[in-house]
Structure 1
Amino acid sequence: MQPVNQSNGKINLDPENAEHGLAQLVLTVIELLRQIVERHAIRRVEGGTLTDEQIENLGEALMNLEEKMEELKELFGLNDEDLNINLGPLGNLL
């Protein structure tokens, strides 16, 4: 059984797939935080409060984080849709 019900995007924590479901949940939270940090970084860059070196370091850090997320998604057999958990009336998480 898959940890995510593809028809509604909800997490299904099947005891036999608990590791996969937990990985899905953790990676979803990390992806949410990554997107928040990225948006904040863009605002700071556009606001002109960073030096060229800080902008370069920030860009490199964000690229490294995105690369690591891709590696982890591949390791656990997840894709972007798997991390977009349905929150019911609130809509999708990502």
Structure 2
Amino acid sequence: MESSDPGGRPLPRGGETAAREARRERWRFEADPETVERDLSRLVLTLVELLRQLVERQAVRRMDEGDLTDEQIEKMGVTLMRLEEAMTELCERFGLTPADLNLDLGPLGTLLPTD
């Protein structure tokens, strides 16, 4: 039988480290009316940030290959800067940092690059 903490959550198994358990707890969804808006915002902003970074990489690749005109490069640069500013504002609004948006995928590493 699996043991649990006072809150009813299962305790870590033998090989699971405290840090791994803390990361798992951090992303566990709990239907707490006090935090549901922040948790949902965090999930949505994580997805938007992932897409923003993918679009940015695609734009850089196309630029490096010479697929874009100077006008398209300028327009894409301005658009990506505005999107990054909007992400920063939304993170501030919900009390999140960029690190809060990064999911730990276990042995695969993190969802977003940490560079």
Common topology (TM > 0.5) = yes
Contact 1:12 1:21 in 2 (8 A): no
Which residues of structure 1 form unaligned runs of 5+? 1-6
Distance 1:90 1:55 in 2: 33
User: Which of 35, 40, 54 is the matching residue for 1:36?
Assistant: 54
Task: Give yes or no for the alignment of 1:92 onto 2:110.
Answer: yes
- Report the structure number with the largest CA radius of gyration: 2
Distance 2:68 2:28 in 1: 43
Coordinate RMSD, CA, aligned: 1.3
User: Which of 23, 30, 39 is the matching residue for 1:8?
Assistant: 23
Q: How many residues align?
A: 88
- 1:1-94 equivalences under 5 Å are 7-8=22-23, 10-14=26-30, 15=32, 16-94=34-112
Which residues of structure 2 form unaligned runs of 5+? 1-21
Q: Which has the higher contact order (CA 8 A, sep 6+)?
A: 1
The structure where helix makes up a greater share of residues is 1
How high is the TM-score relative to the length of structure 2? 0.71
How high is the TM-score relative to the length of structure 1? 0.86
Greater displacement, 7-16 / 35-44: 7-16
Displacement of 1:89: 2.9
Contact 1:45 1:55 in 2 (8 A): yes
